[in-house]
Amino acid sequence: MSGRSTVSRALPRTGPVVLAALALVTALTAGCSTPEPRVTRTAEEAGENVRGEPAPSAASPFWVDPDSDAARQVRTWEKEGREAEAKILRRISERPVADWPAWDDPAPEIRAAARAAARTEKTVLLVAYNIPHRDCGLYSAGGAKDADAYRSWIGAFADAIGDASATVILEPDALPHIADGCTPPEHHAERYQLLAEAVDTLKARPHTKVYLDAGNPDWIDEPSKMAQPLRQAGIDRADGFSLNVSNFQSNESVKAYAGRLSDAVGGSHFVIDTSRNGKGPLSGGRAEAWCNPPGRGLGTPPTTDTGDDRLDAYLWIKRPGDSDGTCRGGPPAGDWWPEYALGLARRAAS
């Protein structure tokens, strides 16, 4: 998505109208990237034995996937004698990162993660990203084919969580794309309805928290522009909103923005993605500052100890080390890029 999330590996169309729209939206917003969901596994492949025992995560209530890309990379480098690099990469592999379940069948992956998390009384962190007309048909085009398909998908998502402890980031970019005018008006009412229904569906699970995504301060610069979309999408029934997903804005700027937005929606709580904001955004207003920007670093490690009553957690929602796209020598969007991951870890804020 221009300005926010890059998942698809190629534009679905290359006609002049699409290219013009892409250029316009890119100019309007500063971006971030969203990881591509993993390839769907069979139920057996996604079972508990594949997941293994959870990695230690004493400083955070969230579950750490012991078979993440970062964890596998650490094991590979250790076997190759690259002990120094492996040690640095543990700054990613031993910390909780969000899971982005498959778009076709999210249930097996969610069930496996939920079971693994429950064994050590941890909370699984998930991202629901399958809204129809996703990303205005741009970088991350796709999503459920229609409203009924989305209802079935989010229902399966919620059912797979079951009674487990879970935190769900609901549809990154979906509301900011309404606020910035990218999503055509004819889709607005349906999107609000689907998001509000998704909040209710997920909140029907006994131990699930839900945060509606609200972009970042470099995208929708005036918080008041996000207030009405959040209200129409059911913020009063959700646990709060998320900010800075897959982006690089500093904690200070995001918290200031979040406070104003929270005031505008009745004191709602919020979470902040700090997966790659340790060095802040790329300076100089360079093109594609959101796409694999050099010199960035890991931000505040995931924690619920924030010192702010309304800030529920710092989270790593974007999977640090996943490419934003083929810009700057990166692999396709969503692919693991160990060299970039290592750079983020070397420049970690803490």
3-state SS track over the chain:
CCCCCCCCCCCCCCCHHHHHHHHHHHHHCCCCCCCCCCCCCCCCCCCHHHHCCCCCCCCCCECCCCCCHHHHHHHHHHHCCCHHHHHHHHHHHCCCCCECCCCCCCHHHHHHHHHHHHHCCCEEEEEECCCCCEHHHCCCCECCCCHHHHHHHHHHHHHHHCCCCEEEEECCCHHHHHHCCCCCHHHHHHHHHHHHHHHHHHHCCCCEEEEEECCCCCCCCCCHHHHHHHHHCCCCCCCEEEECCCCCCCHHHHHHHHHHHHHHCCCCCEEEECCCCCCCCCCCCCCCCCCCCCCCCCCCCCECCCCCCCEEEEECCCCCCECCCCHHHCCCCCCECHHHHHHHHHCCCC
Q: Which residue out of 173, 213, 218, 312 is catalytically annotated?
A: 173
Q: Which of 65, 69, 135, 273 is catalytic?
A: 135
The verdict on whether 305 is a catalytic residue reads no
Q: Is 67 a catalytic residue?
A: no
Is there a catalytic annotation at residue 173? yes
User: Which residues are catalytically annotated?
Assistant: 135, 173, 324
